[in-house]
């Protein structure tokens, strides 16, 4: 049956978090707090819709509209927004093909040049049949359990050695207000030594801490040395099931004491004890794998609605590939979600 996307009224938008509370697939990235992070740092016009079946609400959808030159783009999310996924929240039994058709209709009505969406709850065939292109990459995830000894045994021997070494040097993981600013500062200084720029503005990391921390949706952690200095920091958004790595960093001096190993282990312990079921490291690599993680495919879908938009996207993707060949570190610093 046909579906339509109906804009929410202001009083409905104000109740967004309660409207989506019934959907088990909701994540921290569907929350109003996270939407504010994007709006405050990415110049996006945030929009909200009810998914309606002949006037009956069967789901909700949100995304940001932004401009790139002459192109008007809807992201739910866009790659550059450092957001794992948003996409629609639909009741059981709602036809996913009908939703994507409604999304195409919205694109025509809003005169959009491109739509980009990342949400694993939709069957791939629904996107493919509607003419969306897929970009696949990977992330490492760790299944959590309150049995911390079991989690430690699953961690690689080298990483266990690093954790114990950090503890012998007197390092400890603490809750740290100010992790947002420090992460950007440490990462900027690290990348400058390699001729690269930090892939996000300071406003973004600070907005993450400012908006998510009061809502109980963030672990903002630091690694403190015996002198009281914070030598590593990390931001880890969380929801009712999963905790995510948004970004972490450390000082160049003292990295031989393995503060990064201890930072991740401290986060894992906190999340497991608090009842989280999964740690999504929002990227992949040997460091992530050494914590006993699984490699999971991640899919991002996009559709261009004009030949000029498609050509511009190809040029943009080519520039990104060239940039990463010149600076291999930039690809490692840019998590899989971006």
- Residue 109's DSSP bridge partners are none
Q: In angstroms, what CA-CA distances link 139 with 58, 211, 267?
A: 31, 25, 17
Angle at 60 between CA 59 and CA 63, to 5 degrees: 150
Do 4-134+301-333 and 140-295 agree at the fold level? yes
Q: DSSP string covering 133-177, please?
A: EEEEEEEEEEE--S-HHHHHHHS-HHHHHHHHHHHHTT-EEEE-T
Distance separating alpha carbons of residues 33 and 210, to the nearest angstrom: 9
User: Among residues 143, 163, 144, which one has the least CA distance to residue 294?
Assistant: 143
What's the CATH fold of domain 4-134+301-333?
A: Aminopeptidase (3.40.630)
Look at residue 276 in the predicted model and tell me its pLDDT: 98
Domain ranges of the chain: 4-134+301-333, 140-295
Superfamily for the 140-295 domain: Gcn5-related N-acetyltransferase (GNAT) (3.40.630.30)
Q: In angstroms, what CA-CA distances link 318 with 107, 176, 322?
A: 25, 39, 6
Phi-psi region for residue 55, left (φ > 0), alpha (ψ -120 to 50) or beta? left
Is 292:148 a contact under the CB 8 Å cutoff? no
For 223-268, how does the pLDDT look when each residue is reduced to its tens digit (9 = 90+)? Answer: 999 999 999 999 999 999 999 999 999 999 999 999 999 999 999 9
Going by the DSSP 8-state scheme, the letter that residue 238 receives in this structure is: B
Look at residue 220 in the predicted model and tell me its pLDDT: 98
User: Among residues 75, 79, 77, 125, which one has the least CA distance to residue 100?
Assistant: 125
Please give the chain's pLDDT, 338 residues, in tens: 589 999 999 999 999 999 999 999 999 999 999 999 999 999 899 999 999 999 999 999 999 999 988 999 999 999 999 999 999 999 999 999 999 999 999 999 999 999 999 998 889 999 999 999 999 999 999 999 999 999 999 999 999 999 999 999 999 999 999 999 999 999 999 999 989 999 999 999 999 999 999 999 999 999 999 999 999 999 999 999 999 999 999 999 999 999 999 999 999 999 999 999 999 999 999 999 999 999 999 999 999 998 777 777 676 666 666 665 554 444 433 333 32
User: Which helix (H) or strand (E) segment is 36 a member of?
Assistant: helix 32-42
């Amino acid at each position: 049956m046909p579906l339509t996307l109906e804009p929410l009224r202001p009083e409905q938008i104000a109740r967004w978090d309660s409207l989506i509370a019934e959907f088990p697939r909701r994540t921290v990235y569907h929350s109003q707090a996270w939407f504010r992070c994007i709006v405050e740092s990415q110049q996006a016009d945030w929009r909200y819709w009810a998914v309606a079946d002949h006037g009956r609400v069967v789901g909700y959808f949100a995304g940001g509209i932004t401009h790139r030159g002459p192109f008007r783009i809807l992201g739910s999310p866009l790659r550059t927004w450092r957001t794992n996924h948003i996409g629609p929240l639909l009741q059981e039994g709602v036809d996913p093909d009908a939703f994507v058709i409604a999304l195409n209709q919205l694109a025509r009505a809003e005169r959009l040049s491109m739509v980009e969406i990342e949400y694993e709850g939709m069957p791939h065939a629904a996107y493919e049949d509607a003419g969306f292109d897929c970009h696949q990459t990977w992330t490492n995830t760790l299944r959590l359990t309150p049995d911390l000894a079991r989690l430690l045994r699953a961690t690689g021997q080298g990483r266990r050695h690093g954790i114990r070494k950090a503890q012998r040097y007197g390092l400890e993981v603490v809750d740290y207000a100010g992790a947002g600013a420090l992460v950007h500062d440490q990462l900027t200084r690290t990348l400058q030594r390699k001729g690269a720029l930090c892939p996000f503005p300071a406003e973004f990391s600070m907005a993450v801490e400012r908006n998510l921390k009061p809502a109980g949706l963030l672990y903002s952690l630091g690694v403190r040395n015996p002198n009281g200095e914070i030598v590593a920091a990390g931001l880890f958004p969380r929801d009712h099931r999963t905790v995510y790595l948004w970004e972490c960093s450390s000082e160049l001096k003292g990295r031989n004491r393995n503060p990064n190993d201890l930072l991740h282990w401290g986060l894992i312990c906190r999340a497991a004890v608090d009842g989280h079921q999964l740690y999504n490291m929002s990227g992949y690599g040997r460091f992530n794998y050494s914590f006993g993680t699984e490699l999971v495919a991640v899919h991002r879908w996009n559709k261009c609605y004009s030949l000029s938009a498609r050509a511009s996207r190809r040029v943009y993707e080519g520039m990104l590939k060239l940039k990463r060949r010149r600076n291999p570190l930039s690809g490692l610093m840019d998590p899989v979600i971006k």
